[in-house]
Amino acid sequence: SQQGEEDPQALSIQEGENATMNCSYKTSINNLQWYRQNSGRGLVHLILIRSNEREKHSGRLRVTLDTSKKSSSLLITASRAADTASYFCATDRGNAGKSTFGDGTTLTVKP
């Protein structure tokens, strides 16, 4: 079964609003990453947070990690239509190209 599970499965918001999506996982991890996938394309890495970090920022992205609850959240502030995509969390227990991906959250940002 998948290590990560995203919530919600789908999210629809207006441009300018904030979007929050959550990821839960089952076993201990070294790090957690978030990826974006535009329709029909490959995944693009957004941000990584290590197991000893609690919060990380990158531009309009804010990621939190709670290892006690085995959960992470991705916040996209001031969303734009171009943010429309699927977002996946991926967990790593090592660093040998063996990430475990969740099923993703599909975000639609309406102009």
Partner 1 sequence: NAGVTQTPKFQVLKTGQSMTLQCAQDMNHEYMSWYRQDPGMGLRLIHYSVGAGITDQGEVPNGYNVSRSTTEDFPLRLLSAAPSQTSVYFCAAQREGYNEQFFGPGTRLTVL
Q: Of these, 71, 72, 79, 99, which contacts partner 1 (CB under 8 A)?
A: 99
Of 35, 49, 15, 32, whose CA–CA distance to 86 is shortest? Answer: 35
Q: Of these, 70, 74, 102, 109, which contacts partner 1 (CB under 8 A)?
A: 102
Q: What is the dihedral of CA 18, 23, 29, 35, to 10 degrees?
A: -60
Q: Which residues inside 55-94 make contact with partner 1, applying CB under 8 A?
A: 88, 90, 92
Cis peptide before 111 (omega within 30 of 0): no
d(CA 40, CA 88): 15
Contact between 96 and partner 1 by CB under 8 A: the answer reads yes
Contact between 31 and partner 1 by CB under 8 A: the answer reads yes
Q: Of these, 11, 21, 25, 33, which contacts partner 1 (CB under 8 A)?
A: 33
Contact between 53 and partner 1 by CB under 8 A: the answer reads no
**Cα 52 to Cα 11, 28, 64, 92, distances in angstroms:** 29, 12, 11, 13
Supply the minimum distance, in Å, between the C-beta of residue 47 and partner 1. Answer: 10
Binding site for partner 1 (CB under 8 A): 2, 4, 30-31, 33, 40-45, 48, 88, 90, 92, 95-104
